[in-house]
Copies of this chain bind each other. A is one copy, B any other.
Amino acid sequence: VWAVGIHGGAGPLRGSQLDRQQADLDATLAWAEAELRRGGAALDVVEGAVCRMEDSGAFVAGRGARPNTEGQYELDASICDGRTRRCGAVAALSGVYPPITIARAVMERTKHVLLAGDGARRFALANGFTAIGEPERFFAPGATPPGVTHGTVGAVALDQSGAIAAATSTGGTTGKLPGRVGDSPIVGAGSWADDRIGVSCTGQGEFFIRTAAAHNVAVQARDPDALLPPVLDRVLAEIAALGGEGGILAVGAGGRIAYAFNTEAMRVAVADSQGRREALIARR
Contact = CB atoms under 8 A, between A and B. Distances in A.
Given A87-B210, A188-B186, A188-B189, A118 B119 contact: no
A123 interface: yes
Interface in A184-232: 186-189, 192, 205-206, 209-212, 215-216, 219
Contact of A178 (B118, B177, B205, B210): B118
A114 B188 CA distance: 15
Interface stretch (A1-9, A105-113, A160-168, A260-268): A105-113
Interface residues of A, number: 43
A123 to B, nearest CB: 6
A91 B112 CA distance: 14
Q: Determine how many copies of this chain the complex contains.
A: 2
A210 B189 CA distance: 11
A interface, by DSSP: helix, strand, loop or mixed?
Answer: mixed
A176 B205 CA distance: 27
Interface in A68-113: 68, 74, 85-87, 91-92, 110-113
A179 B117 contact: yes
A242 interface: yes
Nearest to A222: B219
